[in-house]
Amino acid sequence: MRTAPTPSREETRANATFEALIWSMSRPGRLRDLPERGEAQIIEALIDRECHVFCADPLLMPKVLETGARIAALAGADHVFLGALTDLDGLKSLSTGSDLYPDGGASVVIRARLGEGPRLRLTGPGIETEECVHIGGVPDGFWSLRRDLIQYPIGFDVFFIDGAQVLGLPRSTKVEML
Amino acid sequence: MSVTPQSLKTLSRAWEPMSYGFLDASAKREIRRKMIKAVAVPGCQMPYASREVPMARGWGTGGLQVSLTLIHPNMRIKVIDQGADDSVNAASIRHFLARVSGAPTTLDTLQADLIQSRHRIPEEKLNEAQILVLQVPNPEPLRPVQPNMSIARQMHADADYGRMWLQLYEQIVRSGRVMQGASYPSMVNGRHVMTPSPIPRWDVPKLNMAQHLTILSAGREKRIFAVPPYTRVEPLVFDDVPYKVEEHHDLTCSRSGAKGFFMNEIPQEDGSSAYELSDSGFGVKHIQQSTGDAVTFGKTWYENGEMAE
pLDDT in tens, B170-191: 999 999 989 888 999 999 999 9
| Tens digit of each residue's pLDDT (9 = 90 or more) over A18-31 | 999 999 999 999 99
| Domain map (residue ranges) of chain A | 9-177
Residue A4, phi-psi category: left (phi > 0), alpha (psi -120 to 50), beta (remainder): beta
B299 touches chain A (CB under 8 A): no
Interface check for A154 against chain B (CB to CB < 8 A): the answer is no
What is the band of A3 on the pLDDT scale with cuts at 50, 70, 90?
A: confident
Multiple choice CATH, B25-143+183-235, 1.10.620.20, 2.40.340.10, 3.40.50.11310, 3.40.50.970: 3.40.50.11310
Pick the residue of A80, A103, A154 with the most B CBs within 10 A to test the interface with B by mutation: A103
SS3 label, residue A105? strand
Interval B149-163: pLDDT, tens: 999 999 999 999 999
Q: State the average pLDDT over residues A76-95.
A: 93
Q: How far apart are CA B269 and CA B272, in angstroms?
A: 7
- Mutant choice from B4, B39, B148, B213 vs A, greatest count of A C-beta within 10 A: B39
Whether B189 and A172 lie within 8 Å, measured CB to CB: yes
pLDDT score recorded for residue B2: 54
Cross-chain Cβ contact B36/A128 below 8 Å: no
Contact B4, A62 (CB under 8 A): yes
Half-sphere exposure of B222 (CA within 13 A, CB side): 9
For A9-177, the fitting CATH number among 3.40.50.11310, 2.60.120.1310, 3.10.28.10, 3.40.47.10 is 3.40.50.11310
Residue with more model confidence, A68 or B15:
A68
The pLDDT confidence band at residue B18, using thresholds 50, 70 and 90, is confident
pLDDT tens digit sequence for B76-123: 999 999 999 999 999 999 999 999 999 999 999 999 999 999 999 999
Chains A–B, number of C-beta pairs less than 8 Å apart: 139
Q: By C-alpha distance, which of B68, B57, B56 is closest to B30?
A: B68
Q: Which residues of A touch B29 (CB under 8 A)?
A: 14, 45-48
Partners of residue A1 on adjacent β-strands? none
- Amino acid occupying residue B201: R
Instruction: Reply yes or no: is the peptide bond before residue A153 cis, omega within 30 of 0.
Output: yes
| pLDDT confidence tier of residue A4, bands split at 50, 70 and 90 | confident
Which of A17, A19, A26 is the best residue to mutate to test the B interface, defined by the most B CB atoms within 10 Å of its own CB? A26
> What does the domain layout of chain B look like in residue ranges?
25-143+183-235, 248-298
Region B204-219 average pLDDT: 97
Contact residues, B window 33-62, toward A, CB-based 8 Å cutoff: 33-42, 44, 46-47
